[in-house]
């Protein structure tokens, strides 16, 4: 047999193998270096290789596609279903992805871009596309050989996939490295949780905490692996959210930075300052209702800031704890009664303790038992109300589908001021017979 005949026969055998046993062919290609696999794939028409491409695990497919020329890679992608094509494109570096998308029909490219982008608050937005994944039938020795070819960024976890590229388990990389080479990865597998790419990133954090993992697989609608979310990335995102929430709680925009222009800051802050002004007039109206009482007992005006300040601090503490619980998913809106009861109880105990201290101080200062009693009673009431408001305000905003951090501090300040002034001046009016005019 001539060399040409041998080559023709070998090509025919390869074609038959690729056509009739695409999954087995994919496993063989994964065992080659990406350059070798690309040469072998380039020798055959893309239509023949589509079933093989569909069976290649993430990582191997990415590395092989990176070795193909643009025209062949484009034809390969055009022959794939939208979902797998989008997943493969999403794992390419940005320059190569844009080059391939730019060569496609604009309508198709737009669909693929939409499929490779995820909402900001989703797990998919934070996921990384560099990870280790192997067919569950691969041995430890074969996996380590492929790792040397691919040279991934991180090798903490190996994810195992079935024939449909769905996540089946995980193997810590040290377990695979220390196992006998002939050991199947499936025999080393541990259970694994996963999160959908469109699920809220809060769900990803909850699963990471429950499973005590550092890396969580992200899957598509068919449970095919598309990426991983790392604990460090999630915590970094939550740190940014907390920093933004600090601004929004007081009416500043999340987009504003320390070096933003004054015009931008004014445009973002001024509407909330007007709202704050309206709420301040509401608190002032409450004080105005007791104008005659304040005129007769001027000491009340001196003590008004004490009541307002103390209830405001108590409310801010309750607000901060509740906001943290919502952000870290320690609580949900369904637990509103439990949270509110806890903050009311905390406000009652703290209010009683502060009432004793404050009452004694006012008694020594004013020599009026009636005034000391008034501020002590109002301190208990206002701090209980402040604790309840600190819990209810963010929970209510969450229940209404709004950002619980959005200017909740402004709303809380109004509630605590009104509650503090109303309780203090109302009790003073009721017990006016015990007060000393002046």
Mean pLDDT of the chain: 79
Is residue 199 a part of any domain in this protein? yes
Is residue 219 a part of any domain in this protein? yes
Is residue 388 over pLDDT 80? yes
CA separation for the pair 178, 190 (Å, rounded):
16
CA separation for the pair 384, 202 (Å, rounded):
31
Q: Are 79 and 199 in the same domain?
A: no
The segment with the largest mean pLDDT, out of 17-31, 104-118, 268-282, 307-321, is 307-321
DSSP 8-state assignment for residue 335: G
Task: State how beta strands 157-161 and 132-135 pair.
Answer: parallel
> Given this model, what pLDDT does residue 127 score?
79
Domain of 39, CATH number, reads 1.10.220.30
What are the residues facing 172 on neighbouring strands? 157
Is residue 250 over pLDDT 70? no
Q: Are 143 and 107 in the same domain?
A: no
Domain of 322, CATH number, reads 1.10.357.20
> Given this model, what pLDDT does residue 118 score?
76
CA separation for the pair 50, 79 (Å, rounded):
7
Q: Are 275 and 396 in the same domain?
A: yes
**Strand runs labelled E in 207-274:** 215-219, 225-230
Write down which residue in 221, 237, 253 finishes a domain: 237
Nearest C-alpha neighbor of 395 from the set 319, 328, 343: 319
Tokens 């991180």, residue located: 154
pLDDT tens by residue, 406-437: 567 777 888 888 888 888 888 988 888 887 76
Q: Are 270 and 406 in the same domain?
A: yes
> Given this model, what pLDDT does residue 404 score?
67
Q: In which order are the strands placed within the sheet that holds 167-172?
A: 132-135, 157-161, 167-172
List the single range of 65-79, 128-142, 240-254, 342-356 with lowest mean pLDDT.
240-254
For a pLDDT cut of 90, what percent of the chain falls above it?
8
Q: Are 229 and 291 in the same domain?
A: no
Which residues contact residue 273 at a Cβ distance below 8 angstroms, ignoring those fewer than 6 apart?
A: 251
> Given this model, what pLDDT does residue 259 score?
54
> Given this model, what pLDDT does residue 254 score?
56
Is residue 255 over pLDDT 60? no
Task: State how beta strands 195-196 and 215-219 pair.
Answer: parallel
Is residue 248 a part of any domain in this protein? no
Helix (H) or strand (E) holding 48: helix 46-55
Residues in the chain: 438
Q: Are 71 and 163 in the same domain?
A: no
Distance, C-alpha 156 to centroid of its chain: 22
Q: Are 349 and 422 in the same domain?
A: yes
CA separation for the pair 431, 253 (Å, rounded):
45
Is residue 248 over pLDDT 70? no
Is residue 374 a part of any domain in this protein? yes
pLDDT tens by residue, 330-381: 777 888 899 999 999 999 999 999 999 999 998 998 888 988 999 999 999 9
Is residue 345 a part of any domain in this protein? yes
Is residue 250 a part of any domain in this protein? no
Write down which residue in 237, 271, 294 finishes a domain: 237
Is residue 263 over pLDDT 70? yes
* b/e burial code for range 384-419 (CB count within 10 A of at least 16 → b): bbbbbbbbbbbbbbbeeeeebbbbbbbbbbbbbbbb
**Strand runs labelled E in 62-212:** 132-135, 157-161, 167-172, 195-196
> Given this model, what pLDDT does residue 242 score?
56
Q: Are 350 and 420 in the same domain?
A: yes
CA separation for the pair 355, 9 (Å, rounded):
96
Write down which residue in 117, 143, 177 finishes a domain: 117
> Given this model, what pLDDT does residue 342 score?
92
Is residue 327 over pLDDT 60? yes
pLDDT tens by residue, 33-88: 888 888 887 777 777 777 887 788 887 888 888 888 888 888 888 877 777 788 78
Tokens 């931008």, residue located: 264
CA separation for the pair 253, 247 (Å, rounded):
6
* b/e burial code for range 223-241 (CB count within 10 A of at least 16 → b): bbbbbbbbeebbeebbeeb
Is residue 295 over pLDDT 60? yes
Is residue 382 a part of any domain in this protein? yes
Domain of 216, CATH number, reads 3.10.580.10
Q: Are 110 and 204 in the same domain?
A: no
Is residue 233 a part of any domain in this protein? yes
Nearest C-alpha neighbor of 393 from the set 307, 329, 318, 330: 318
Q: Give the domain extent around 227.
A: 125-237
The model's confidence at residue 307, banded by pLDDT at 50, 70 and 90, is confident
How many structural domains comprise the chain? 3
Is residue 6 over pLDDT 80? no
Task: State how beta strands 225-230 and 132-135 pair.
Answer: unpaired
> Given this model, what pLDDT does residue 121 score?
73
Which residues contact residue 342 at a Cβ distance below 8 angstroms, ignoring those fewer than 6 apart?
A: 391
Q: Are 101 and 129 in the same domain?
A: no
Q: Are 7 and 37 in the same domain?
A: yes
Q: Are 397 and 306 in the same domain?
A: yes
């Amino acid at each position: 047999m001539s060399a040409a005949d041998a080559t023709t026969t070998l090509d025919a055998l390869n074609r038959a193998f690729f056509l009739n046993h695409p999954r087995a062919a994919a496993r063989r290609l994964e065992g080659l270096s990406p350059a070798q696999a690309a040469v072998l794939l380039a020798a055959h028409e893309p239509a023949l290789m589509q079933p093989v491409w569909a069976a290649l695990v993430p990582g191997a497919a990415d590395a092989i596609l990176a070795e193909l020329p643009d025209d062949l890679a484009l034809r390969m992608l055009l022959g794939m279903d939208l979902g797998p094509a989008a997943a493969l494109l999403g794992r390419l570096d940005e320059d190569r992805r844009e080059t391939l998308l730019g060569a496609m029909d604009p309508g198709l490219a737009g669909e693929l871009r939409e499929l490779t982008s995820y909402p900001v608050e989703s797990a998919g937005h934070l996921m990384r596309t560099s990870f280790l994944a192997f067919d569950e039938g691969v041995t430890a020795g074969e996996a380590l050989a492929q790792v040397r070819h691919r040279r991934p960024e991180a090798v903490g976890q190996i994810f195992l996939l079935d024939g449909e590229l769905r996540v089946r388990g995980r193997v810590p990389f040290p377990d695979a490295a220390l196992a006998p080479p002939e050991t199947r990865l499936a025999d080393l597998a541990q259970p694994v949780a996963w999160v959908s790419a469109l699920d809220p990133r809060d769900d990803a954090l909850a699963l990471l905490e429950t499973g005590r993992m550092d890396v969580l697989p992200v899957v598509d609608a068919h449970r095919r692996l598309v990426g991983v979310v790392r604990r460090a990335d999630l915590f970094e995102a939550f740190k940014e959210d907390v920093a933004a929430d600090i601004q929004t709680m007081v009416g500043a925009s999340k987009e504003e930075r320390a070096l933003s222009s004054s015009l931008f800051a004014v445009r973002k802050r001024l509407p909330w300052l007007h709202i704050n002004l309206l709420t301040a007039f509401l608190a002032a109206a409450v004080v105005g209702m007791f104008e005659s009482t304040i005129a007769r007992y001027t000491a009340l005006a001196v003590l008004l800031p004490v009541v307002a300040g103390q209830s405001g601090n108590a409310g801010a503490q309750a607000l901060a704890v509740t906001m943290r619980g919502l952000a870290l998913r320690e609580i949900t809106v369904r637990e509103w009664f439990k949270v509110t009861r806890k903050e009311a109880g905390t406000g009652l105990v703290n209010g009683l303790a502060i009432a004793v201290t404050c009452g004694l101080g006012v008694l020594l200062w004013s020599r009026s038992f009636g005034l000391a009693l008034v501020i002590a009673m109002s301190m208990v009431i206002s701090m209980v109300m402040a604790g309840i408001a600190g819990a209810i305000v963010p929970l209510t905003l969450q229940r209404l589908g709004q950002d619980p951090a959005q200017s909740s501090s402004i709303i809380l300040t109004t509630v605590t001021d009104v509650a503090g002034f109303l309780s203090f001046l109302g009790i003073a009016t009721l017990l006016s017979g015990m007060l000393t005019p002046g």
